[in-house]
Structures are given as structure tokens and as C-alpha cells.
């Protein structure tokens, strides 16, 4: 792994490597136990646990899935284990006490796509940063996105896609926003493993978010610009 990982105490490295193995084997209880130990015994932050334990483990699962070593049922078990561990981290990630409310985000995984681990992580971290998050779940079509944006007067739309076959649907949603006269009102953030900066630009999104931390940074920065534009407009 990385130099940062190598610098961790040997016992903690061992814990993380065991967590990765347990995730690979879909051992939910063990992954949860490892997460709790990393928090309580080693004082690790959720970001460290995600980076060195959970996401690192899921990367190995993804590589073996791609190479035909693992199949859907095993990957599903790993996903369940990861989701259970994320529930342990949820209260820490979503705790926004003392943080000023930043704005409202509608987020979902686009139509045809059922991957939701990364999107849920983004949703939790946005909540923790002070955003109100309306999480529409998976397989979300343009109508549902539009309806939720109107209902909640959303400032930001976040879309996730993990498949090369579903990422083009993001363009469909953005085109619908334009047709409905909503495009200028919402900041559009997109993310998911197959996406690129160039793709995001091509479909007319405001920002490509490589990971959850980048999504939070982008949401905060673009919200500041939006608030400033509103302020200037109200003064004119």
C-alpha cells in the first residue's frame, strides 16, 4: 500500500489488512467489529477507516470482479459488509452540530444503475458538512430528480453512475433541467468510478467529483459563489 499506510503502527496495519480480507470474504460482523476497534482502540477517523480498510478492501473486490475471480453474489456480500460498517461511521460522518446550514442537495444514482455505496458516502459527508440531503436512492429517472428539486427547492443536484452504460443518462437529466427552466437554479455535481472531468464538462455538469471529499469541497465552494450571486442580485 501507500507510504502513509506503511507509517501506521504494525498492529493497526494488521487490523486494516484483516478488515480488507473480511470485506473480501463478505464477513459483515467481522468488518463491523474491525471498524469499531479502529475507532475505539486506535482512535482512527472515519476517513482513515474508509481509506485504509473499507474502500481499500472494495478496490480489491472490484479488481477481482473485473478479472472474473469474484462473481455478483460474492460482491453483494462484500457490499453488505461495507454498508454495515458505514452505518457505524454514519453518526460521525453526518454530525453537523455547530456547522452552519449550507444548502439543500438532491442526490441519487441514475436510472439503470443500482450501485449506491459511494453515493451514500457522498450523501453522509455532505450532511456532515451542513447540507440538507435528500437521498433519492438508486435507479432514479429524470422525472424523479426534477420533482425532488422542485419539492425541496434544491440548490444542488448530485448524480452518481458506476457503469459506462448508465453514465450517459446524466446528460438526459441535465437536458431535462434545461427544458424545465431549472438549470440556472441548480448546481450539478456528478461522480462515479467511470466518469472523467472531460465527460462532466461535455454533458454540461458544473463539477466532476472524484470522491466524497472532493464532492464536499465542490458543493461548499459552488454554494458560496451561488450565495454571493444571490446577494449581488438582491442589491441591484
Q: Is 32 in the site for ligand B1M (CB under 6 A)?
A: no
Q: Is 134 in the site for ligand B1M (CB under 6 A)?
A: no
**Which residues between 84 and 113 bind ligand B1M (CB under 6 A)?**
107, 112-113
Tell me the closest approach of the beta carbon of residue 42 to ligand B1M, in angstroms.
21
Using the contact rule CB under 6 A, the part of the chain among 16-24, 34-42, 94-102, 162-170 near ligand B1M is 162-170
From 66, 97, 101, 233, residue interacting with ligand B1M (rule: CB under 6 A): 66
Residue with cell 441548480: 186
Q: Is 62 in the site for ligand B1M (CB under 6 A)?
A: yes
Burial class (CB in 10 A: 0-12, 13-18, 19+), 90: middle
Residue with cell 485504509: 52
Tell me the closest approach of the beta carbon of residue 161 to ligand B1M, in angstroms.
7
Q: Is 115 helix (H, G, I), strand (E, B) or coil?
A: coil
**Cell numbers linked to 127:** 450532511
CA–CA separation, 47 and 172 (whole Å): 33
44 within 8 A of 9, measured Cβ to Cβ: no
Residues in the chain: 236
Q: Which residues bind ligand B1M (CB under 6 A)?
A: 55, 58-59, 61-62, 65-66, 72, 75-76, 79, 107, 112-119, 121-122, 158-160, 162-164, 189-194, 209, 211-212, 215
Amino acid at each position: 500500500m501507500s507510504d502513509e499506510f506503511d507509517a501506521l503502527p504494525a498492529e493497526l496495519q494488521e487490523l486494516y489488512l484483516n478488515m480488507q480480507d473480511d470485506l473480501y470474504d463478505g464477513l459483515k460482523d467481522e468488518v463491523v467489529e474491525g471498524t469499531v476497534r479502529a475507532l475505539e482502540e486506535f482512535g482512527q477517523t472515519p476517513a482513515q477507516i474508509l481509506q485504509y480498510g473499507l474502500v481499500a478492501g472494495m478496490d480489491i473486490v472490484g479488481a477481482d470482479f473485473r478479472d472474473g475471480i469474484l462473481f455478483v453474489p460474492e460482491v453483494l456480500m462484500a457490499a453488505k459488509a461495507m454498508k454495515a460498517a458505514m452505518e457505524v461511521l454514519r453518526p460521525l460522518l453526518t454530525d453537523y452540530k455547530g456547522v452552519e446550514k449550507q444548502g439543500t442537495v438532491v442526490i441519487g444514482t441514475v436510472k439503470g444503475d443500482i450501485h449506491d455505496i459511494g453515493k451514500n458516502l457522498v450523501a453522509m459527508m455532505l450532511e456532515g458538512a451542513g447540507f440538507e440531503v435528500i437521498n433519492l436512492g438508486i435507479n432514479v429517472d429524470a422525472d424523479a430528480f426534477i420533482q425532488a428539486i422542485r419539492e425541496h427547492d434544491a440548490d444542488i443536484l448530485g448524480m452518481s453512475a458506476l457503469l459506462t452504460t448508465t453514465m450517459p443518462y446524466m446528460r438526459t437529466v441535465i437536458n431535462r433541467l434545461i427544458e424545465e427552466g431549472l438549470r440556472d437554479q441548480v448546481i450539478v455535481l456528478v461522480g462515479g468510478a467511470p466518469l472523467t472531468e472531460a465527460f462532466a464538462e461535455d454533458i454540461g455538469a458544473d463539477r466532476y467529483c472524484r470522491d466524497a471529499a472532493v464532492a464536499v469541497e465542490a458543493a461548499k465552494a459552488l454554494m458560496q459563489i451561488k450565495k454571493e450571486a444571490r446577494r449581488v442580485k438582491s442589491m441591484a
